[in-house]
Amino acid sequence: MTFSIVARSADGRLHGVAVASKFLAAGALVPAAEAEVGAIASQAHVNLAYRPQGLALLRTGVAAADVVAGLVAADPGRDDRQLGVVGPAGDGATWTGPRCHPWAGGQAGDGWAAQGNILAGPHVIDAVRDAWLGGEELPFPRRLLTALHAGDRAGGDRRGRQSAGLLVVERRGGYAGTGDTLVDLRVDDHRDPVTELGRLLDTHTMLFGKPDPATLRELTGTLADEVVTLLAAVGHPVGPAGPDDALASWAGVENLEERLVPGRIDPIVLDHLRRIAPHVPAARVGD
């Protein structure tokens, strides 16, 4: 009743899971991941114990294929289960129990595994695989979502659509560097959950993505004058300390604090400030 991909970034720093299903809140049940350790998807007749047990095995250096073998060997319900595992190195691994509803199966390769049950056919997993392998230039969370979207377009769960989820971990990659959860997004009940998950990822990237140093603009001259005017227009006038304090105050209200760089401004922050200001000058002096 689900299809998913578990994967690792080329440099081994990120691990993640993307999942979609005709099932309420599949993102709450299927994925698990630990930074620099691995990622797991437990589905079909989900065995939630696979997630902590599998991560514990990966943490001790057990290869993905051996994690799968060990988990299913100890589980009397394995014939109804489906499982995907990827570790910190090597090939991913996947298991499909013989009693999973057709079509059911999976594929795995270096740093990834894709699996699904009650699918429109094996071409769904082919599509997930091809999109993953062809997405090397994409940011890792977007690459996972692109692979999921390809499976969805290929027919996905043959019963229809309901939920989707995306989990990505990176050491100190979470909010303000205080945790390892880089992305944790779910669409629990929606007519087009994978598309909605993409919208959420876009919003997440805008709010929490790291500024690109190559695009940062110096807060000086006419651009600084414009930002001062805009901040005053949105109720955050600049004081004697200069625009950084007022910009930080406004950005905290708008949840853009992760994109702040002292003395400079991220174009994404600038565009948002221009968009919401109640009065934008006819000619932007900062351009």
pLDDT at 51: 98
- pLDDT band for 282, please (50, 70, 90 cuts): very low
Q: What is the mean pLDDT of residues 3-20?
A: 98
User: What's the burial of 11, exposed, middle or buried (CB within 10 Å: 0-12/13-18/19+)?
Assistant: exposed
Which domains can be identified in the chain, with CATH numbers? 2-208 (3.60.20.10), 217-276 (no CATH)
- Taking only the tens place, the pLDDT of each residue in 151-190 is 999 999 999 999 999 999 999 999 999 999 999 999 999 9
User: What's the burial of 189, exposed, middle or buried (CB within 10 Å: 0-12/13-18/19+)?
Assistant: exposed
φ/ψ of 117, rounded to 5, equals: -140, 160
- pLDDT band for 280, please (50, 70, 90 cuts): low
**AA letter at 169:** V
**AA letter at 56:** A
pLDDT at 283: 43
- Taking only the tens place, the pLDDT of each residue in 213-225 is 999 999 999 999 9
Q: What is the mean pLDDT of residues 58-70?
A: 98
Q: pLDDT averaged over the chain?
A: 95
Report the distance separating Cα 192 and Cα 45, nearest Å. Answer: 23
Residue 218's DSSP bridge partners are: 264
CA distances from 16 to 30, 168, 180, 280 (A): 12, 4, 12, 41
Does residue 95 carry a pLDDT above 80? yes
**pTM of the shown model:** 0.92
Report the distance separating Cα 80 and Cα 71, nearest Å. Answer: 13
Does residue 19 carry a pLDDT above 70? yes
